[in-house]
Amino acid sequence: MATKRVNITVDPILLDEFYKYAAKKRIKFSTWINVKMQEFIEEEQMIEELKQKRS
């Protein structure tokens, strides 16, 4: 799969806290972001489907 590099702004305190916990589980920031983005997309698609069924 091709990847696209993007710049994001993250609160440094939150990022440090994330790394503190993620390191224990060997989770990379970009991997976590990708998973959360996919979860968000799936939730939004389900919401759209529900709205279409109601109409």
The CB density around residue 34, as the number of other CB atoms within 10 Å, is 13
**Under 8 Å between Cβ of 22 and 28:** yes
| Mean pLDDT (whole number) for 23-38 | 96
User: What is the band of 49 on the pLDDT scale with cuts at 50, 70, 90?
Assistant: very high
Tell me if 54 sits within 8 A of 47, measured CB to CB. Answer: no
**What average pLDDT does this structure show over 4-33?**
96
Q: Is the pTM of this model over 0.95?
A: no
Write down the domain spans for the chain. 28-55
The mean pLDDT value for 4-13 works out to 95
Please determine, for residue 29, whether its predicted confidence score (pLDDT) is greater than 80. Answer: yes
Contact 21, 32 (CB under 8 A): no
- Quickly tell me which residue has 């993007």 as its tokens: 6
